[in-house]
């Protein structure tokens, strides 16, 4: 395992000039990507009313509805991680970043312009499914490219800090989507919201994508001249030549993704289903804790640059393994209790999210770094993070709602065993 993580100097790397511009290019684009992704989640009810009407006679409609809402995006993320990661490794990180943001902008516009079922029939959900496929492809590729770009842009001793902006920008995009959706719902009456209001955030997302594209075009490529001259890697070379590193990414990510999606997305629903918390209170607590979470990320990155990656990972993994059950069982019909539980989880979760980009980038050599990270990471997110709400709901339906916290704890414990064996890489150079 030590051999996997050994880092060597990278004398051929480009000079780390304009680090703030590099950070801004990656963060703004990533925020726009996740704004588009989460806008769909917040407005799914209105989309369903226009695209999947109740009582539709065509039997394909409910099938396509289920596929679009619950499967398509996460299904395409591993594919996006592999394809866009390969573009980043073959043609440069900046090239991949411009492709992903244009792809997300186009798919967002496609959602906004999706015709209603009343106008074109079953073609309506087909268009929406296509848009969601493209969004999943873009988001999967975004993590692979932006993770690599962020960490390679950092000055020595600042990879953890730069890494933390992966989730700062992700959280900013999620909060922006939530805020705009809330503003529209509060401003427009039901008829206008059902008719055209739900389309506005997606058209806006397409415009923001063009802004992000312009910013990213001015960023500096982080591949060295030596890497540009080297033969281009194959599409699956990262997995084929580095299977142990690929499995290591899965182990590192497994606990982090189940904790992230449980605490940032599913917890309001879990609290409403199992503790009787009012839905509006649950959403408000979620928004406040999410903002708190975003502010914590740079602190976690700075701590890892000073004290190392492994202490923070173990703080997260063992912390969740020991506290998931008592925290989730402590939930009751109380806004204050829910907010405390969410914020406590966010503090622990920061030990993973603030440095996951740096840890992942330090696993793979530069030649296959983006695709090597993108595919196993996105596959693990799809398997454990994307299924978190459905596993929790399934346990509830089977009459074993109390088993879900143990499921979260077990996955975090499994990742903790991986963290225990990781050598420290915070103070070395990235592998060539």
- Per residue in 243-290, pLDDT (tens digit) is 999 999 999 999 999 999 999 888 887 888 788 888 778 888 888 999
What residues contact 122, with CB distance under 8 A and at least 6 apart? 58, 60, 61, 64
Domain C-terminal end among 173, 192, 219:
219
Same domain for 396 and 251, yes or no, is yes
Instruction: Please tell me the distance from the alpha carbon of residue 195 to that of residue 22, in angstroms, as a whole number.
Output: 40
Domain C-terminal end among 186, 219, 252:
219
Burial class (CB in 10 A: 0-12, 13-18, 19+), 75: middle
Cα–chain center distance at 187: 30
Same domain for 215 and 313, yes or no, is no
Same domain for 183 and 292, yes or no, is no
pLDDT digits 0-9 by tens, 66-125: 445 556 777 888 999 999 999 999 989 999 999 999 999 999 999 999 999 889 988 998
Q: What DSSP string runs through 161-178?
A: HHHHHHHHHHHHHHHHHH
pLDDT of 11: 40
- 263-298 burial: b if 16+ Cβ within 10 Å, else e: bbbbbbbbbbebbebeeebbbebbbebbebbbebbb
Q: Say if 63 falls within a structural domain.
A: yes
Same domain for 195 and 64, yes or no, is yes
Cα–chain center distance at 225: 30
391 in Cβ contact with 98 (< 8 Å): no
Q: Say if 305 falls within a structural domain.
A: yes
Q: Say if 427 falls within a structural domain.
A: no
Tokens standing for 228?
Answer: 């540009």
Tokens standing for 91?
Answer: 């043609």
Instruction: Please tell me the distance from the alpha carbon of residue 221 to that of residue 347, in angstroms, as a whole number.
Output: 34
Count of the separate structural domains present in the chain? 2
Q: Say if 5 falls within a structural domain.
A: no
pTM of the model: 0.86
- Note down the domain range covering 267: 238-422
Residue 170: CATH number of its domain: 1.20.1250.20
Same domain for 137 and 55, yes or no, is yes
Same domain for 242 and 208, yes or no, is no
231: number of CA atoms within 13 Å, CB side?
4
Q: Say if 230 falls within a structural domain.
A: no
Instruction: Please tell me the distance from the alpha carbon of residue 300 to that of residue 275, in angstroms, as a whole number.
Output: 31
Instruction: Please tell me the distance from the alpha carbon of residue 410 to that of residue 317, in angstroms, as a whole number.
Output: 10
| pLDDT band for position 17 (cuts 50, 70, 90) | low
Same domain for 178 and 262, yes or no, is no
Average pLDDT score over the chain:
86
For residue 333, give Cα distances in angstroms to 12, 274, 279: 58, 9, 11
């Amino acid at each position: 395992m030590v051999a996997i993580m050994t880092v060597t100097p990278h004398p051929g790397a480009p000079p780390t000039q304009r680090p703030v511009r590099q950070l801004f290019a990656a963060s703004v684009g990533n925020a726009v990507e996740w704004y588009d992704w989460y806008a769909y989640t917040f407005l799914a009810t209105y989309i369903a009313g226009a695209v999947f009407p109740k009582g539709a006679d065509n039997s394909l409609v409910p099938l396509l509805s289920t596929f679009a809402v619950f499967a398509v995006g996460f299904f395409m993320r591993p594919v996006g991680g592999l394809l866009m990661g390969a573009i980043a490794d073959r043609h440069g990180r900046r090239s991949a970043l411009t492709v992903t943001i244009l792809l997300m902008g186009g798919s967002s516009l496609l959602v906004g312009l999706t015709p209603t079922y009343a106008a074109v029939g079953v073609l309506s959900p087909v268009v929406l499914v296509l848009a969601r496929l493209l969004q999943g492809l873009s988001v999967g590729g975004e993590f692979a490219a932006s993770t690599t770009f962020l960490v390679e842009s950092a000055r020595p001793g600042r990879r953890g800090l730069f890494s933390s902006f992966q989730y700062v920008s992700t959280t900013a995009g999620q909060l922006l989507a939530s805020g705009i959706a809330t503003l529209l719902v509060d401003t427009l009456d039901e008829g206008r919201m059902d008719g055209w209001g739900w389309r506005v955030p997606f058209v806006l997302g397409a415009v923001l994508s063009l802004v992000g594209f312009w910013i990213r075009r001015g960023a500096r490529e982080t591949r060295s001249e030596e890497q540009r001259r080297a033969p281009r890697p194959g599409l699956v070379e990262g997995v084929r030549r580095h299977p142990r590193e690929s499995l290591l990414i899965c182990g590192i990510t497994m606990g982090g993704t189940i904790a992230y999606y449980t605490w940032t997305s599913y917890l309001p629903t879990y609290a409403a289903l199992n503790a009787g918390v009012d839905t509006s209170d649950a959403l408000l607590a979620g928004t406040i804790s999410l903002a708190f979470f975003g502010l914590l990320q740079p602190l976690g990155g700075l701590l890892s640059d000073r004290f190392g990656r492994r202490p923070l990972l173990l703080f997260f993994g063992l912390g969740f393994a020991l506290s998931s059950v008592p925290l989730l069982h402590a939930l009751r019909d109380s806004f204050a209790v829910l907010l405390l539980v969410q914020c406590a989880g966010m503090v622990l979760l920061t030990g993973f999210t603030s440095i996951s980009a740096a840890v992942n980038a330090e696993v793979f050599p530069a030649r296959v770094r983006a695709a090597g990270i993108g595919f196993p990471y996105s596959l693990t997110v799809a398997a454990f993070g994307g299924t978190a709400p459905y596993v929790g709901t399934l346990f509830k339906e089977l009459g074993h709602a109390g088993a879900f916290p143990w499921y979260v704890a077990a996955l975090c414990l499994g990742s903790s065993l991986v963290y225990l064996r990781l050598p420290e890489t915070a103070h070395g150079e990235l592998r060539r």
